[in-house]
Structure 1
Amino acid sequence: MTDPAAVEPTTFVLRARHVLTMGAAGHVRDGAVAVVDGRIAAVDGYAAIAARFADLPVLGDGGGILTPGFVSCHGHFSEGLVTGIGETHTLWEWFVHVVEPIEAHLTRDMAYVGTLLKATEMALSGVTTVGDMFCSAPGTPAITPGIVDALDVVGLRGDVSFGPADVPHGYPVDRIVAEHHALAQAAAASRRTRFRVGLATIPSSSDTLLAATRSLLAETDRLHVHLHEVREEVTASRTARGASSIEVAARLGLLDAQTVAAHCVWLSDDDVALLRRHAVAVAHCPVSNMILASGVCQVPRLLRDSVPVGLGVDGAASNDSQDMLATVKTAALLQKVHHQQADVLTAPAVLRMATLGGARALGLDDTVGSLDVGKAADLVLFAEASPSMAFVHDPYQAVVYCAGTRDIAGVWVDGERIVAGAQILTADVPAILPHARELAVELATRAGLASELAVT
């Protein structure tokens, strides 16, 4: 086996006992992927790949499981410094006691440091692409470019948005639009990040903000929005505007954009029909839905009705970890216990949601989500030499139910290795931790959070 440190970063052969392509080739046993200049050049049995690409260095010892990089299609790096604080709150109580108090105090430095730590946590759990909505007050100067700076350091692929709300805060819409534009400019100059228009929720948006959002979508035809996370949201929208949030968004033309909608827990038949008609993708966030007691997303029904579904770790203050493997396992178990049906959501189905499903939700399935020729070499290798992965009866179930972050031998994005031996290679996390703690103390204190860190 070639020493990874001595290998050209983006050109190599990676072999494994099981290659789960989530694409046309399906499950390849004793397989390998050939990577040339950061793109997948071939997927086949190892013998065929070795013969065809004899000059390329070979990574992997022939054991373990190789999958596409995971795609987390919803989260909030804005919560990166306030983990583990709100478990006794339902969503709207959590808004009042955790999220809203910090929004006016977030800075670009906080955005950078929080993202650096949480993006690292994601990478260590196999995430290679992250969809994020940063929720804060609009800044002067702009806050959100800090997200892009951190993603560039860690090396993740990003689909980032600013998630504004102006009810009841009264933030000026022109400043909100300026924050969108600042994030878009930062993403355009980044390594692997692109911009998406964001909107927190329909009920927390004035008519002026909704109109501004529609105008922004004329420039960038991609939308990230929360829809029907809790029953209270549906009631609030119907009370204020005479229709559900999904109906309002559809009526205003917002759903004509390529839309990823977080949660979608409380859905009527008409809501599901609108999602399907507008090809809206759902970002299912099972851990935060459970912590905040929001309800259970109708995942099996959505999949049957051809509504695309991906997975999201959600925010660092509502999950509260950013461990994608925990999200994958929870997604399967939640549906099984809710429906009291063991086969309602199987390991292959939930692994597809974590890879190709998430890529489709973000409109990136032509680039990532499966191990197909021509796509980016976003890869995760699970080591065989571990107590939990030493023997694999079913590789799909091994990844979904057995694997932990300790088992991740390597993560590659565009063929660049960013994780080796369960350690991040791209970010100096120990060096940033003292400053991160200082920022967490500052934020907790200024926001008046019920935190051990808050200085009183």
Structure 2
Amino acid sequence: MSSTLIQGTFVCTPTIGSLQILSDHLIAVSSTTGLITHFAPITSSSSIELLQSSPSPPIVLPPGTFLLPNFCDLHIHAPQFLYQGTGLHLPLMQWLDEYAYKAEERLDADAGLARRVYTRLATRLVEKGTGTVLLFGTIKEETNLILAEIMQKAGLRAFVGKLSMDISSRPTYTEPSAAASLYSASSFITQCQHLTSSLPLHRRLVAPVLTPRFVPTCSDELLSGLAALSVSQSLVIQSHMSESRDEVTWVRDLRGAEDIEVFEKHGLLTPRTIQAHCTFLSIPNLTHLSTLGTAVAHCPLSNAYFSDKPFPLREALIQGVKVGLGTDVAGGYDLDIMSSMRYAVAVSRMREGTRALTVHADGPRVPAVGASAENLSINWQEALYLATQGGAHALGLPPGSGNFEIGTPFDAQQIQLLDPETRQGIGALDFFDLETGAEGNILLTLEMVEKWWCVGDDRNRVGMWVQGNNLFEKAR
């Protein structure tokens, strides 16, 4: 079995809060399956044996360059990419009527426009280092099949959700009944799976997911039907839960219950479920979510615009909730998971500042019921874990995905920090105190990786692989 060999420095977060810089390592990727078949120091006996038996020399990464697992984006509204970066001045429920539903309806009515928007979206995702993505689509089957086809062609690992919604505040943008919605969801699943059925298993990168938009747009009959469909076909479920004050109030008025109660009642909170936002969940709610195995897509930027309240990230992690990051385009204006990581840290630090001021302003105070006594901030290394392995775990990818482990898909991005000849930083990066080894080679340090995390951008991304397939490579 032929393999691609790559020698160089690898950066990963094996556990949340820990970061490894693995210099002079050798990785082997099966050309047949795209899986990692070897990963060890270059000086190990197994690496030496592999190099000696290989018909081709390894690809050697230049100094100042490293491989990092791809990013996972757990929450994007693909049709809303049409108006990314506009229309963020309204409350959530008004914004849906004024922008989101109209954009989705436009794409459902214009296949050519949908193809242009989705093709550009795929290009941007690759540029941003996002190799795995969980997508909300529209209500029309054909438009979602265009989305799935384009993501597969781009080589991205994409979970594509046809919206299910038999209730809508926009009369022209809804499905006629719960029965019609369930029939359409089932039909889309079959057609989406057929798109890749002739490909080898490791090249079937696109999969359908069930997508009740959120409680206000779904009848009880529809929610129960989707749960049954999920069980019968072991499908991933995605939705929004407890996102904003107006949404939470609407659900209470309509259903006389909380979001989490409605979803659980209808069997939609499972280990295969990813719920976006969850900002209004209490600590007991989070504990229960952890018990159920349901994951959260944390979208800190869009939360700042629409949620009225930040997500209790530290508390969720303490309770063992599976958490990954999402951009929530277009509720979030930036498609880059780098921004989601930075905002996640910034929001958590502000939450910790508020907690500390409350505790120490006039002497110790009794914390509110359910409040955490823990430090609420997260650091950049924890955010990097959420963007990589956290997202992979939430999606149920093979154990070890989002890391460099033997038997997992080779999903990686190549990051170049500086020019090895001039030793000048690339893009926004500047380095003045480079560390060198005994032979004068540049050593990658934790501080260099941190600087990239804070101010790096697309100019530093020079290669990307999904399931061993090289999607692009910039010449330097």
TM-score grouping bracket, smaller chain normalisation: 0.7 to 0.9
Of residues 6, 16, 23, the one that matches 2:8 is 16
Report the TM-score when normalising by structure 1: 0.83
The one-letter code of the counterpart of 2:338 is L
Of residues 268, 280, 300, the one that matches 1:286 is 300
Equivalence for 2:139: 137
In the alignment, the residues of structure 2 paired with residue 157 and residue 376 of structure 1 have an alpha-carbon distance, to the nearest angstrom, of: 11
Equivalence for 1:403: 456
Change (3 A) 1:336 1:257: closer
Larger Rg: 2
Of residues 227, 236, 243, the one that matches 1:229 is 243
Equivalence for 2:401: 368
Q: Give the C-alpha shift of residue 178 in structure 1.
A: 3.8
Equivalence for 2:371: none
Q: Greater shift after overlay, 219-228 or 334-343?
A: 334-343
Deviations 1:175-211 (A, max 9, x none): 4234323432343233311121111111221122223
In the alignment, the residues of structure 1 paired with residue 58 and residue 309 of structure 2 have an alpha-carbon distance, to the nearest angstrom, of: 46
Equivalence for 2:38: 42
Deviations 1:267-324 (A, max 9, x none): 1233213211211100001122223354311111100110010011212x22223112
In the alignment, the residues of structure 2 paired with residue 162 and residue 187 of structure 1 have an alpha-carbon distance, to the nearest angstrom, of: 10
The one-letter code of the counterpart of 2:277 is H
Q: Is the 8 A contact 2:214 2:240 kept in 1?
A: yes
The one-letter code of the counterpart of 2:5 is V
Q: Give the C-alpha shift of residue 384 in structure 1.
A: 2.8
Q: Is the 8 A contact 1:13 1:34 kept in 2?
A: yes
In the alignment, the residues of structure 1 paired with residue 254 and residue 179 of structure 2 have an alpha-carbon distance, to the nearest angstrom, of: 24
Q: Greater shift after overlay, 23-32 or 152-161?
A: 23-32
Q: Is the 8 A contact 2:182 2:222 kept in 1?
A: no
Q: Is the 8 A contact 2:287 2:320 kept in 1?
A: no
Deviations 1:149-192 (A, max 9, x none): 11012110011212222223452234423432343234323331
Change (3 A) 1:62 1:182: farther
The one-letter code of the counterpart of 2:106 is H
Q: Give the C-alpha shift of residue 361 in structure 1.
A: 0.9
Instruction: Say yes or no: does 1:73 pair with 2:59.
Output: no
Equivalence for 1:218: 231
Instruction: Say yes or no: does 1:147 pair with 2:147.
Output: yes
1:243 counterpart SS class = coil
Q: Give the C-alpha shift of residue 250 in structure 1.
A: 0.9
In the alignment, the residues of structure 1 paired with residue 242 and residue 393 of structure 2 have an alpha-carbon distance, to the nearest angstrom, of: 21
Q: Is the 8 A contact 1:325 1:405 kept in 2?
A: no
1:295 counterpart SS class = coil
Aligned alpha-carbon RMSD (Å):
2.6
Change (3 A) 1:19 1:291: same
Matches within 5 A, 1:80-99: 80-99=81-100
Report the TM-score when normalising by structure 2: 0.80
The one-letter code of the counterpart of 1:82 is Y
Q: Give the C-alpha shift of residue 50 in structure 1.
A: 5.1
Q: Is the 8 A contact 1:203 1:245 kept in 2?
A: no
Equivalence for 2:208: 195
Deviations 1:28-59 (A, max 9, x none): 12333221221111222233375233124422
In the alignment, the residues of structure 1 paired with residue 3 and residue 272 of structure 2 have an alpha-carbon distance, to the nearest angstrom, of: 33
Instruction: Say yes or no: does 1:183 pair with 2:179.
Output: no
Q: Greater shift after overlay, 295-304 or 230-239?
A: 230-239
2:391 counterpart SS class = helix
Instruction: Say yes or no: does 1:419 pair with 2:419.
Output: no
Instruction: Say yes or no: does 1:301 pair with 2:289.
Output: no
In the alignment, the residues of structure 2 paired with residue 261 and residue 213 of structure 1 have an alpha-carbon distance, to the nearest angstrom, of: 15
Change (3 A) 1:163 1:399: farther
Change (3 A) 1:417 1:273: same
In the alignment, the residues of structure 1 paired with residue 391 and residue 19 of structure 2 have an alpha-carbon distance, to the nearest angstrom, of: 19
Deviations 1:187-244 (A, max 9, x none): 3233311121111111221122223212322333321111011122222222222210
Equivalence for 1:113: 116
Matches within 5 A, 1:46-65: 46-48=42-44, 51-54=48-51, 55=54, 56-59=56-59, 60-65=61-66
Of residues 17, 26, 33, the one that matches 1:32 is 26
Runs of at least 5 residues in structure 2 that lack an aligned partner in the other structure: 197-203, 357-374, 419-424, 435-443
Runs of at least 5 residues in structure 1 that lack an aligned partner in the other structure: 1-7, 424-456
